[in-house]
């Protein structure tokens, strides 16, 4: 009999993405014909705008179907530099930009380039599920920065210094945050920047939701703060702002020597991201920008509605998210109660009850480091949001 072939240690410590797990469970129920309202999605429900789709078709028809330079075509790099300049005020040279296969890949390249085995990487909680996995894969040690409950999820320098050790080498920041929607205010970001400079930390700043901010929130880039351009790898991409998740284009901007090493790594793993997608991303960044705001306004409408309804529901509590497209809900008041005949110990139990008994998918917070919370994505239509919230409330009303 064939013996099972052994796997390398590094993949044995990987956990599959819990956000993908609930999403695939919801999708399999949908495939069985169940009418599931899916609040699990991490991608806009809008189609990629027409001009961008057309640019990809043109790219194919004009023969842009071969390899490009590993780090991306010059025109796209120029468009990225211009976009970053407009959004953050920071200017980069072409060799300080790397285009990759989605922002997740940009992050992977950055983590693999900066983290040595044993290095401490400071990571505010709640975090996007991929960060600890990538840090661990690089042999790094995740140093979880717990938020002070009084600061509504905004990480503060004091929270960071509490867990910092002599091994701490870097900080991974994500503002606007997935899952909490928190946008770190400029004054706090400045304090964090000062700490990073004092302690000689690098910062990977994942700003992929920078154009999805609400009310009068202003997003500040870490790279724009004094002294930070030299120690920051800025991550962004077209997936979220332009409804282009499937096209797989992300990018990193940072100090030349870091980008050079990241590019070498990419040259020996994926090579260039899809040529056709690069031309589509070029159109996204250089073409008309109105669609970004149309989508943002629709997200904003849904955000207000969900937060309002959640906060009218007994035992659920959500802060007003200032960015991204997620509402982060505290369900602690439901712990140790019976819902639909089931004992609820944490958000995992509640999410499973909603999925199996009410056909609604939300993502439990355990994968983001906070098991008493769940994440609801509002990248689904208003009508579906209303139906989903009705179902969630109805099930809770059966509680004892
Ligand atoms: C915080 C954050 N960073 C990065 C990504 C990855 O984006 P991409 O689709 O460009 O790989 C996501 C996607 O969910 C995200 O939420």
Count CA atoms within 13 Å of residue 179 on its CB side: 31
What is the enclosing helix (H) or strand (E) of 162?
Answer: helix 157-163
Strands, E assignment, the chain: 37-38, 97-100, 120-124, 141-145, 168-174, 202-206, 232-237, 250-253, 317-318, 326-330, 337-339, 342-344, 360-361, 363-364, 373-377
pLDDT at 18: 63
Query: How many A from CA of 326 to the centre of ligand 1?
Result: 13
Nearest residue (CA) to ligand 1, atom 16: 178
Task: Give mean pLDDT in consecutive 10-residue pieces for the chain, a chain of 400 residues.
Answer: 86 76 81 93 90 98 98 98 97 98 98 98 96 97 92 92 98 97 96 98 98 96 97 97 97 98 98 98 97 95 97 95 97 96 94 94 93 94 97 91
Output the ligand 1 site: residues, CB below 6 A: 42, 102-104, 128, 174, 178, 206, 208, 237, 239, 245, 250
Query: How many A from CA of 334 to the centre of ligand 1?
Result: 30
Query: By C-alpha distance, which of 44, 47, 58, 80 is closest to 279?
Result: 58
Domain ranges of the chain: 9-47+291-397, 65-286
Query: How many A from CA of 134 to the centre of ligand 1?
Result: 13
Supply φ then ψ for residue 145, to 5 degrees: -100, 110
Query: How many A from CA of 250 to the centre of ligand 1?
Result: 9
pLDDT at 15: 80
Query: How many A from CA of 103 to the centre of ligand 1?
Result: 6
Query: How many A from CA of 127 to the centre of ligand 1?
Result: 12
Fold of 65-286: 3.40.640
Query: How many A from CA of 132 to the centre of ligand 1?
Result: 14
pLDDT at 42: 84
* Number of C-beta neighbours around residue 230 at 10 A: 11
Ligand 1 atom with the shortest distance to the CA of 107: 4
Choice from 100, 109, 130 to test ligand 1 binding pocket (greatest atom count within 8 A of CB): 130
Nearest residue (CA) to ligand 1, atom 13: 42
Choice from 48, 124, 128 to test ligand 1 binding pocket (greatest atom count within 8 A of CB): 128
Nearest residue (CA) to ligand 1, atom 7: 103
Q: Is residue 92 reached through a cis peptide bond, with omega within 30 degrees of 0 on the bond before it? A: no
Ligand 1 atom with the shortest distance to the CA of 237: 10
Running DSSP on this structure, what letter comes out for residue 95? Answer: G
Chain-centre distance for alpha carbon 149: 22
Tell me the Cα Rg of the chain.
Answer: 21
Ligand 1 atom with the shortest distance to the CA of 324: 16
Q: Which CATH number fits domain 9-47+291-397: 3.30.565.10, 2.60.120.620, 3.60.15.10, 3.90.1150.10?
A: 3.90.1150.10
Structure token digits, residue 391: 């179902």
């Amino acid at each position: 009999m064939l013996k099972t072939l052994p796997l390398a240690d590094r993949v044995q410590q990987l956990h599959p993405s819990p956000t993908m797990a609930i999403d695939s469970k919801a999708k399999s129920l949908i495939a069985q014909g169940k009418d599931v309202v899916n609040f699990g999605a991490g991608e806009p429900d809008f189609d990629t705008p027409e001009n961008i789709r057309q640019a990809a078709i043109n790219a194919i028809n004009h023969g842009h179907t071969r390899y490009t330079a590993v780090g991306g075509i010059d025109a796209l790099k120029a468009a990225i530099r211009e976009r970053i300049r407009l959004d953050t005020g920071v200017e980069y040279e072409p060799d300080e930009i790397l285009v990759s296969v989605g922002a997740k890949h940009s992050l992977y390249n950055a983590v693999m380039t900066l983290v040595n085995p044993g290095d401490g990487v400071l990571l505010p909680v709640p975090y996007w599920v991929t960060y600890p996995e990538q840090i661990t894969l690089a042999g790094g040690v995740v140093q979880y920065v717990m938020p002070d409950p009084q600061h509504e999820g905004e990480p503060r320098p004091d929270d960071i210094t509490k867990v910092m050790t002599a091994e701490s080498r870097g900080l991974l920041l994500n503002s606007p945050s997935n899952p909490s929607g928190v946008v770190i205010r400029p004054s706090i970001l400045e304090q964090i920047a000062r700490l990073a400079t004092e302690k000689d930390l690098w910062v990977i700043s994942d700003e992929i939701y920078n154009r999805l901010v609400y009310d009068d929130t202003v997003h500040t880039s870490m790279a724009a703060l004094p002294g930070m351009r030299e120690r920051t790898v800025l991550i962004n991409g077209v997936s979220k702002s332009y409804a282009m998740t499937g096209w797989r284009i992300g990018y990193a901007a940072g100090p030349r020597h870091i980008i050079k090493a990241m590019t070498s790594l990419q040259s020996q793993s994926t090579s260039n991201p899809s040529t056709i997608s690069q031309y589509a991303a070029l159109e996204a960044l250089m073409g008309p920008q109105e669609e970004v705001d149309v989508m943002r306004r629709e997200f904003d409408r849904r955000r207000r509605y969900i937060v309002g309804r959640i906060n009218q529901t007994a035992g659920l509590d959500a802060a007003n998210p200032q960015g991204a497209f997620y509402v982060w809900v505290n369900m602690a008041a439901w712990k140790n109660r019976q819902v639909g005949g089931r004992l609820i110990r944490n958000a995992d139990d509640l999410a499973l009850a909603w999925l199996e008994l009410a056909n609604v998918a939300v993502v439990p917070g355990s994968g983001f480091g906070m098991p008493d919370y769940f994440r609801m994505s509002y990248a689904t239509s208003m009508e579906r949001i209303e139906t989903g919230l009705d179902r969630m409330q109805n099930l809770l009303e059966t509680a004892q």
